[in-house]
Structure 1
Amino acid sequence: MKLEGTKEFDAPREVVWSVINDPSKMAKTMPGVESFEIADDKHWSAKVKVPLGLGGLKMSIQFEKVEERPLEFASLHAKGNGVGALMNMMTSFTLSGDGPQTSMAWEADVKIAGPVGSMGQRVLQPIINQQVGNVLSSLDAEVQAEKAAAG
């Protein structure tokens, strides 16, 4: 399942980068994070409860930063295991813009296997879209908080 879009931030590129490049700040943007652990600057993990319909899916997710070009591009691989589901996700962010505004083009390729994955794209797509919307809203809030702290 491929998703992509753009998000505009009312903040300089350095501020947006400082948030998306900081695992502890990004953890705050993810729904359902129950615990979070940083191994090093390229590897971290989270235990999350993914809101899925009536119940939640508990998952352990390992994150690895695959590539980064500071202030411009980052890509991330996430691999999750939970009861009834395996998740594999590649995501990337490209930042552009100078001055007080930043544009972020993002894309994610999400694969879910197991019984949850067999629910099919029709069922999962709206749930994933809603979660992406939540993450982007939270990311904007983190960026604004960082901008206020820096200013």
Structure 2
Amino acid sequence: MHPREAYLALPPFEFDQSDQGWRSIDRDGGYLEAAQLIEAYLSHNMQRIRSQSQVSEATIHFHAGQEYAMNGELTYPKALIQFRQADKPDQPAWNLYVAGTIAFLEGDNTKLTDASTALAALVAENPNLTANATLLGQFRDALQANNRSYKAIYGV
């Protein structure tokens, strides 16, 4: 494992999308540590992130949210802070996925159903949305069964 400074020095794409970044901690079940590292990376590298186009600030915030959510319900409030910074103004389908994820963590079945239904309607136009639409459907089913485990839905 790299020392923290080595992680913070990685280029944004490598840190977020490769096994050299936060994912090396995640794969060992270190969800909280990975989330905190992502937050530190965002704080330390915001200018670098905004000056390149390979990976967006919103995507990195989303991954921090995922790691906090994977850590369990006690860190859902921190996950929500990150997910609320994950909108992409030019990607309405992505924003529906983010909104549905937030609704799941908040236990809001109405908002989750709305986001899930709207995203599912877009799948015919863009089959690449199938995975995210399926996840929102699984979130909806889990919430209706009173299961709020983000980690269980991802099958981890």
Shorter-normalised TM range = under 0.3
Normalised TM-score (structure 2): 0.25
Higher fraction of strand? 1
Which structure has the higher relative contact order (CA within 8 Å, separation 6+)? 1
Normalised TM-score (structure 1): 0.26
Higher fraction of helix? 2
